[in-house]
């Protein structure tokens, strides 16, 4: 149902200085919230990935520009001979999931739900029960290691929608260059 994080290739270019990121080089991958006009409807932005944009920065530009990232991680451009499929760290997925807990926008709720499914599959989150609140279905989930509880709004996506959200997530979380 859900693809792993091995989809699109990045441009392999630093968003700050425009220089190519070389094999072996460490860089920062950041998810930035897209600035959007409030009156703009979700339906009018077919390219929007839940309101997030992925940018990569070389170390120098990261320190100089310190972009306001919703979520970021440090990684390394793989050597050409290396296995190409670098998957995003579980910690990053979990941090992204937790930060999305404050979001009320539809696209971010969808992201959070699909992340919850992924974290559940990875046995990082465990489903506990469902609560109905104001006609909405809330999943109560426990984080296995930290023993913390999380509430996840079920947006009642069908399989095709889950697939679509999953692809959007893959596109911004891709860690392969």
Q: Which is nearer to Zn ion, 58 or 100 (CB)?
A: 58
Provide the minimum distance between the beta carbon of 54 and Zn ion in the complex, in angstroms, as a whole number. 15
The piece of 33-41, 58-66, 132-140, 156-164 that touches Zn ion (CB under 5 A) is 58-66
Q: Should residue 29 be labelled a site residue for Zn ion when binding is judged by CB under 5 A?
A: no
What is the total count of residues that contact Zn ion (CB under 5 A)? 5
One residue of 21, 30, 61, 125 binding Zn ion per CB under 5 A: 61
As measured in angstroms, the least distance from the Cβ of 66 to Zn ion is 13
Residues in the chain: 177
Gap between the Cα atoms of 54 and 56, Å rounded? 7
Smaller CB separation from Zn ion, 27 or 113: 27
Q: Does residue 14 touch Zn ion according to CB under 5 A?
A: yes
Whether 79 contacts 46, CB under 8 Å: no
Residue 17 within binding range of Zn ion, rule CB under 5 A: yes
Helices (H), 18-77: 59-65
Least distance in angstroms from the C-beta of 16 to Zn ion: 4
If the CB atoms of residues 28 and 139 are measured against Zn ion, the closer one turns out to be 28
Q: What's phi and psi for 141, nearest 5 deg?
A: -130, 145
Q: Judged by CB under 5 A, does residue 58 bind Zn ion?
A: yes
Total Cβ atoms within 10 A of residue 150: 18
Q: How far is CA 97 from CA 21, 29, 37, 89, 161, in A?
A: 28, 17, 25, 13, 18
Q: Does 16 bind Zn ion (CB under 5 A)?
A: yes
15-163-29 Cα angle (round to 5): 20
Phi-psi group of 142: left, alpha or beta (phi > 0 → left; psi -120 to 50 → alpha; rest → beta): beta
* 165 scored as a contact of Zn ion (CB under 5 A): no
Contact residues: Zn ion, CB under 5 A: 14, 16-17, 58, 61
């Amino acid at each position: 149902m859900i693809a792993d994080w091995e989809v699109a290739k990045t441009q392999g270019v630093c968003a700050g200085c425009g220089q190519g990121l070389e094999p072996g080089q460490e860089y920062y991958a950041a998810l930035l919230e897209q600035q959007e006009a409030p009156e703009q409807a979700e339906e009018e932005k077919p390219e929007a990935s839940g309101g997030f944009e992925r940018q990569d920065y070389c170390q120098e530009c990261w320190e100089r520009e310190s972009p306001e990232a919703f979520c970021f991680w440090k990684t390394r451009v793989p050597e050409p001979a290396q296995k190409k499929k670098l998957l995003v760290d579980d910690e990053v997925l979990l941090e992204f999931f937790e930060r999305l807990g404050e979001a009320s926008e539809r696209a971010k709720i969808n992201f959070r739900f699909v992340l919850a499914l992924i974290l559940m599959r990875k046995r990082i989150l465990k489903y506990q029960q469902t609560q109905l609140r104001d006609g909405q279905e809330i999943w109560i989930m426990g984080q296995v290691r930290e023993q913390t509880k999380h509430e996840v709004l079920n947006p009642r996506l069908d399989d095709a929608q889950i697939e679509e959200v999953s692809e959007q997530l893959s596109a911004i979380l891709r860690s392969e260059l």
